[in-house]
Chains A and B, each alone.
Chain A
């Protein structure tokens, strides 16, 4: 499978899960920000075994809260400190990652996944992420939402 075919699969899973499960309507990201915007974090999900690599989602606090509210039916004003754990974004990546792995490699290969982890995000990481070949950039109400898959 070439990069273009892999990207199509990644984008389809990304859109399907966020739209159908978190009721988040996404548009293509017309222009990627050149520098890291404020209040964004990186959520990572590693996979290992027959295939090794990492999924990474760059997401804002605002979009995370929207996902979490839509998923749980909870009022975002009650989130307070909890939202800083980026639970909604972690759960989305926990769903998106295994679906992409199955669509790319089938379900017979022994591939394990880690627990999703929140990572701090700096300008260097942002720039490196923007250079990833398997990258899908979308916009949620004008706010960027980026997913990458890095296969080692």
Chain B
């Protein structure tokens, strides 16, 4: 299982990482990026099963990341979870129309995150 966390907040990257460690995910299975451009580079290298993606990011925002993944066909290979406090209808519709199915609105608890993660992990293994 390979996971990518893209968030410009170091505290949030640690928060997600720490939450995933509660369900047995090792640090070696997790890659971290602090902006959308860095996230795209890691995604293009391939092998990411689950992506936790913020929307409000430097360099390339979350909508831009999803748009590129959609065009390249990566949405078929990687399950995307949007982690953001943004609740704007237009943005959410854009994300849904580009294949995003999972949203965790900040603030969320480690339990909410791990519950969704375990569900996605189960689907990935099938």
- Measured CB to CB, the residues of A under 8 A from B are 17, 20-21, 67-68, 71-74, 82, 87-88, 90-91, 94-99, 102, 107-113, 115
Contact = CB atoms under 8 A, between A and B. Distances in A.
28 contacts: A20-B107, A21-B106, A68-B10, A71-B15, A72-B11, A72-B12, A72-B14, A73-B14, A73-B15, A74-B11, A88-B11, A90-B9, A91-B12, A94-B9, A94-B85, A95-B85, A95-B107, A97-B85, A98-B84, A99-B85, A107-B88, A107-B89, A107-B92, A110-B88, A113-B56, A115-B8, A115-B56, A115-B57
B47 interface: no
B11 A87 contact: yes
Interface in B73-90: 84-90
Given A17-B107, A99-B85, A113-B86, A94 B10 contact: no
A17 B57 CA distance: 20
A19 to B, nearest CB: 10
Size band of the interface chain B makes with A: 20 to 34
Given A95-B106, A99-B85, 18 more contacts: A17-B107, A67-B11, A72-B10, A72-B12, A73-B14, A82-B10, A91-B11, A94-B56, A94-B106, A98-B84, A98-B85, A98-B88, A107-B88, A107-B89, A107-B92, A108-B89, A115-B8, A115-B57
A109 to B, nearest CB: 8
